[in-house]
Protein backbone atom coordinates (compact mmCIF):
# COMPACT_ATOMS: atom_id res chain seq x y z
CA UNK A 1 0.00 0.00 0.00
CA UNK A 2 1.18 3.50 -0.84
CA UNK A 3 -0.44 6.57 0.75
CA UNK A 4 0.29 10.23 0.04
CA UNK A 5 -0.28 12.57 2.99
CA UNK A 6 -0.77 16.26 2.27
CA UNK A 7 -1.52 19.13 4.64
CA UNK A 8 -1.87 22.88 5.00
CA UNK A 9 -2.56 23.82 1.38
CA UNK A 10 -3.69 27.28 2.55
CA UNK A 11 -5.22 28.43 -0.72
CA UNK A 12 -2.02 27.96 -2.73
CA UNK A 13 -3.22 26.13 -5.83
CA UNK A 14 0.12 26.64 -7.61
CA UNK A 15 1.86 24.56 -4.93
CA UNK A 16 -0.96 22.02 -4.75
CA UNK A 17 -0.82 21.35 -8.49
CA UNK A 18 2.95 20.80 -8.28
CA UNK A 19 2.47 18.29 -5.46
CA UNK A 20 -0.41 16.48 -7.18
CA UNK A 21 1.65 16.12 -10.36
CA UNK A 22 4.42 14.52 -8.31
CA UNK A 23 1.95 12.29 -6.46
CA UNK A 24 0.45 11.14 -9.76
CA UNK A 25 3.87 9.91 -10.86
CA UNK A 26 4.03 7.77 -7.69
CA UNK A 27 0.75 5.95 -8.49
CA UNK A 28 -0.41 6.01 -4.88
CA UNK A 29 -3.37 3.99 -3.63
CA UNK A 30 -4.75 6.76 -1.44
CA UNK A 31 -4.36 10.47 -0.71
CA UNK A 32 -5.35 11.93 2.65
CA UNK A 33 -5.34 15.63 3.57
CA UNK A 34 -4.69 16.86 7.12
CA UNK A 35 -6.61 20.11 6.80
CA UNK A 36 -6.12 23.89 6.68
CA UNK A 37 -7.22 23.92 3.08
CA UNK A 38 -8.28 27.36 1.92
CA UNK A 39 -7.39 30.48 3.88
CA UNK A 40 -4.20 32.61 3.71
CA UNK A 41 -3.41 32.04 0.02
CA UNK A 42 -4.51 33.61 -3.27
CA UNK A 43 -6.96 30.92 -4.44
CA UNK A 44 -9.16 29.74 -1.56
CA UNK A 45 -12.18 28.70 -3.63
CA UNK A 46 -10.11 27.19 -6.45
CA UNK A 47 -8.08 25.12 -3.99
CA UNK A 48 -11.24 23.66 -2.47
CA UNK A 49 -12.57 22.89 -5.95
CA UNK A 50 -9.35 21.05 -6.82
CA UNK A 51 -9.42 18.97 -3.66
CA UNK A 52 -13.05 18.15 -4.29
CA UNK A 53 -11.97 16.67 -7.64
CA UNK A 54 -9.21 14.68 -5.93
CA UNK A 55 -11.89 13.20 -3.68
CA UNK A 56 -9.60 12.44 -0.76
CA UNK A 57 -10.68 12.33 2.90
CA UNK A 58 -9.86 15.59 4.70
CA UNK A 59 -9.28 16.38 8.38
CA UNK A 60 -10.83 19.53 9.84
CA UNK A 61 -8.01 22.01 10.48
CA UNK A 62 -8.21 25.00 12.79
CA UNK A 63 -8.29 27.44 9.86
CA UNK A 64 -11.05 25.39 8.21
CA UNK A 65 -13.16 25.81 11.34
CA UNK A 66 -12.32 29.51 11.42
CA UNK A 67 -13.38 29.99 7.78
CA UNK A 68 -16.86 28.70 8.64
CA UNK A 69 -17.24 31.25 11.43
CA UNK A 70 -14.60 34.01 11.21
CA UNK A 71 -13.62 35.81 14.39
CA UNK A 72 -10.46 36.92 16.21
CA UNK A 73 -7.26 35.11 15.21
CA UNK A 74 -4.77 33.35 17.47
CA UNK A 75 -1.51 34.77 16.13
CA UNK A 76 2.15 34.54 17.03
CA UNK A 77 2.90 36.88 19.92
CA UNK A 78 6.20 37.87 18.27
CA UNK A 79 4.39 39.39 15.27
CA UNK A 80 4.07 43.16 15.16
CA UNK A 81 0.66 44.81 15.33
CA UNK A 82 1.07 45.80 11.67
CA UNK A 83 1.74 42.19 10.66
CA UNK A 84 -1.20 40.95 12.71
CA UNK A 85 -3.44 43.48 11.01
CA UNK A 86 -2.29 42.43 7.55
CA UNK A 87 -2.80 38.76 8.36
CA UNK A 88 -6.29 39.45 9.65
CA UNK A 89 -7.17 41.31 6.44
CA UNK A 90 -5.86 38.41 4.37
CA UNK A 91 -7.73 35.79 6.36
CA UNK A 92 -11.00 37.72 6.20
CA UNK A 93 -10.59 38.17 2.44
CA UNK A 94 -9.89 34.44 2.06
CA UNK A 95 -13.02 33.50 3.97
CA UNK A 96 -15.13 35.83 1.82
CA UNK A 97 -14.00 34.02 -1.36
CA UNK A 98 -15.73 30.82 -0.25
CA UNK A 99 -19.15 29.93 -1.58
CA UNK A 100 -22.01 28.27 0.25
CA UNK A 101 -21.04 25.04 -1.53
CA UNK A 102 -17.48 25.46 -0.24
CA UNK A 103 -18.84 25.81 3.30
CA UNK A 104 -20.93 22.68 2.87
CA UNK A 105 -17.86 20.82 1.68
CA UNK A 106 -15.73 22.02 4.62
CA UNK A 107 -18.45 20.79 6.98
CA UNK A 108 -17.79 17.25 5.72
CA UNK A 109 -14.20 17.34 7.03
CA UNK A 110 -13.58 14.97 9.95
CA UNK A 111 -11.91 15.68 13.34
CA UNK A 112 -9.68 12.64 12.74
CA UNK A 113 -9.37 9.97 10.05
CA UNK A 114 -8.24 6.37 10.55
CA UNK A 115 -7.01 4.25 7.65
CA UNK A 116 -6.24 0.54 7.84
CA UNK A 117 -2.82 -0.50 6.58
CA UNK A 118 -3.68 -4.19 7.00
CA UNK A 119 -5.71 -6.33 9.41
CA UNK A 120 -3.65 -5.13 12.39
CA UNK A 121 -1.94 -1.82 11.73
CA UNK A 122 -3.50 1.60 11.23
CA UNK A 123 -2.64 5.13 10.14
CA UNK A 124 -4.29 7.73 12.38
CA UNK A 125 -4.61 11.24 10.93
CA UNK A 126 -5.34 14.57 12.64
CA UNK A 127 -4.43 18.23 12.24
CA UNK A 128 -2.73 19.44 15.44
CA UNK A 129 -2.91 16.39 17.70
CA UNK A 130 -5.41 13.57 18.33
CA UNK A 131 -6.95 15.83 21.01
CA UNK A 132 -7.10 19.23 19.30
CA UNK A 133 -6.50 20.78 15.89
CA UNK A 134 -4.72 23.66 17.62
CA UNK A 135 -2.03 21.59 19.38
CA UNK A 136 1.55 21.91 18.11
CA UNK A 137 3.65 18.74 17.97
CA UNK A 138 7.34 19.35 17.33
CA UNK A 139 10.46 17.19 17.31
CA UNK A 140 11.22 18.81 20.68
CA UNK A 141 7.79 18.40 22.30
CA UNK A 142 8.36 16.78 25.75
CA UNK A 143 7.44 13.12 26.07
CA UNK A 144 4.97 13.97 28.83
CA UNK A 145 3.01 16.24 26.50
CA UNK A 146 3.06 13.59 23.76
CA UNK A 147 1.78 11.08 26.29
CA UNK A 148 -1.13 13.38 27.11
CA UNK A 149 -2.22 14.14 23.55
CA UNK A 150 -1.81 10.57 22.26
CA UNK A 151 -3.39 8.74 25.21
CA UNK A 152 -6.07 6.37 24.01
CA UNK A 153 -4.73 6.42 20.45
CA UNK A 154 -3.43 3.13 19.08
CA UNK A 155 -1.90 3.15 15.61
CA UNK A 156 1.41 2.32 14.01
CA UNK A 157 1.60 5.78 12.42
CA UNK A 158 0.23 9.08 13.69
CA UNK A 159 0.12 11.81 11.05
CA UNK A 160 -0.50 15.48 11.84
CA UNK A 161 0.13 18.87 10.29
CA UNK A 162 -0.35 22.42 11.63
CA UNK A 163 3.32 23.29 12.29
CA UNK A 164 4.19 23.57 8.57
CA UNK A 165 7.43 21.72 9.33
CA UNK A 166 8.32 18.18 8.25
CA UNK A 167 9.05 15.66 10.99
CA UNK A 168 9.44 11.96 11.75
CA UNK A 169 9.59 10.99 15.43
CA UNK A 170 9.41 7.68 17.27
CA UNK A 171 7.28 7.50 20.41
CA UNK A 172 6.02 4.52 22.42
CA UNK A 173 6.30 2.10 19.49
CA UNK A 174 4.55 4.54 17.15
CA UNK A 175 5.84 6.84 14.44
CA UNK A 176 4.63 10.44 14.55
CA UNK A 177 5.02 12.17 11.20
CA UNK A 178 4.32 15.63 9.84
CA UNK A 179 4.32 15.92 6.04
CA UNK A 180 5.03 19.66 6.20
CA UNK A 181 2.96 22.17 4.28
CA UNK A 182 1.87 22.12 0.66
CA UNK A 183 1.01 25.79 0.43
CA UNK A 184 2.91 27.62 3.18
CA UNK A 185 6.05 25.73 4.31
CA UNK A 186 8.35 27.28 6.89
CA UNK A 187 12.14 27.26 6.86
CA UNK A 188 13.32 28.45 10.27
CA UNK A 189 16.44 30.62 10.47
CA UNK A 190 16.08 31.04 14.25
CA UNK A 191 13.34 30.80 16.87
CA UNK A 192 11.86 34.08 15.62
CA UNK A 193 12.88 34.18 11.97
CA UNK A 194 11.55 32.07 9.12
CA UNK A 195 10.85 32.29 5.41
CA UNK A 196 8.67 30.41 2.93
CA UNK A 197 10.74 28.18 0.62
CA UNK A 198 9.41 27.67 -2.89
CA UNK A 199 8.44 24.04 -2.44
CA UNK A 200 5.35 21.95 -1.77
CA UNK A 201 5.95 19.47 1.04
CA UNK A 202 4.17 16.16 1.54
CA UNK A 203 4.83 12.58 2.68
CA UNK A 204 4.52 9.12 1.17
CA UNK A 205 3.91 6.09 3.37
CA UNK A 206 4.80 2.71 1.86
CA UNK A 207 3.55 -0.33 3.75
CA UNK A 208 3.64 -4.01 2.96
CA UNK A 209 3.95 -5.34 6.50
CA UNK A 210 5.43 -3.89 9.68
CA UNK A 211 8.92 -4.95 8.64
CA UNK A 212 8.51 -3.23 5.27
CA UNK A 213 7.42 0.24 6.29
CA UNK A 214 8.86 3.26 4.51
CA UNK A 215 8.16 6.94 5.10
CA UNK A 216 9.50 9.53 2.68
CA UNK A 217 9.25 13.28 3.24
CA UNK A 218 9.10 14.90 -0.18
CA UNK A 219 9.75 18.47 -1.37
CA UNK A 220 8.54 19.54 -4.80
CA UNK A 221 9.73 22.92 -6.17
CA UNK A 222 7.34 25.31 -7.85
CA UNK A 223 7.81 28.48 -9.86
CA UNK A 224 7.86 31.86 -8.09
CA UNK A 225 6.85 33.73 -11.23
CA UNK A 226 3.69 31.65 -11.50
CA UNK A 227 2.93 32.19 -7.81
CA UNK A 228 3.58 35.93 -8.13
CA UNK A 229 1.32 36.27 -11.16
CA UNK A 230 -1.42 34.30 -9.41
CA UNK A 231 -1.17 36.42 -6.26
CA UNK A 232 -1.18 39.76 -8.11
CA UNK A 233 -4.16 38.71 -10.23
CA UNK A 234 -6.16 37.38 -7.29
CA UNK A 235 -7.21 40.67 -5.73
CA UNK A 236 -5.97 39.52 -2.32
CA UNK A 237 -4.98 42.31 0.09
CA UNK A 238 -1.35 42.84 1.11
CA UNK A 239 -0.11 40.85 -1.87
CA UNK A 240 3.42 42.27 -1.82
CA UNK A 241 3.65 41.51 1.89
CA UNK A 242 2.52 37.93 1.25
CA UNK A 243 5.12 37.47 -1.50
CA UNK A 244 7.95 39.03 0.48
CA UNK A 245 9.01 35.89 2.35
CA UNK A 246 8.87 33.43 -0.58
CA UNK A 247 12.46 32.53 -1.48
Q: What is the pLDDT of residues 226-235, one digit of tens each?
A: 999 999 999 9
pLDDT of 81 higher than 90: no
| Greatest C-alpha distance within the chain | 53
pLDDT of residue 76: 62
Q: Which of 35-39, 52-56, 71-75, 213-217 comes out lowest in average pLDDT? A: 71-75
Q: Which of 77-86, 152-161, 211-220 comes out lowest in average pLDDT? A: 77-86
Q: Which of 16-20, 24-28, 81-85, 105-109 comes out lowest in average pLDDT? A: 81-85
Closest by CA to 35, choosing from 131, 101, 112, 97, is 112
Q: Which of 18-32, 67-81, 118-132 comes out lowest in average pLDDT? A: 67-81
By the 8 A CB rule, do 202 and 19 touch?
A: yes
Which domains occur in the chain, in start order? 2-244 (3.60.21.10)
More confident residue, 79 or 236: 236
pLDDT of residue 211: 81
Give the pLDDT confidence of 185-232 residue by residue, as tens digits.
999 888 778 899 999 999 999 999 878 899 999 999 999 999 999 999
CA angle 126, 132, 133 (to 5 degrees): 60
pTM for this predicted structure? 0.96
- Give the span between the Cα atoms of 137 and 161, in whole angstroms: 8
- % the chain with pLDDT above 70: 98
Amino acid sequence: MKIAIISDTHGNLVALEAALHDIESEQVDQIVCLGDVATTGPQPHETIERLRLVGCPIVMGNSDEWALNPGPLDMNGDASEEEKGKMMELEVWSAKQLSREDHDYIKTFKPTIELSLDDKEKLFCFHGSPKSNKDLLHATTPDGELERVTSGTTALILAGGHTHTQMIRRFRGMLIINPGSIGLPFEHLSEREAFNPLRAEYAIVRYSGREKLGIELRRVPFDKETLTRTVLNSGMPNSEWYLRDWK
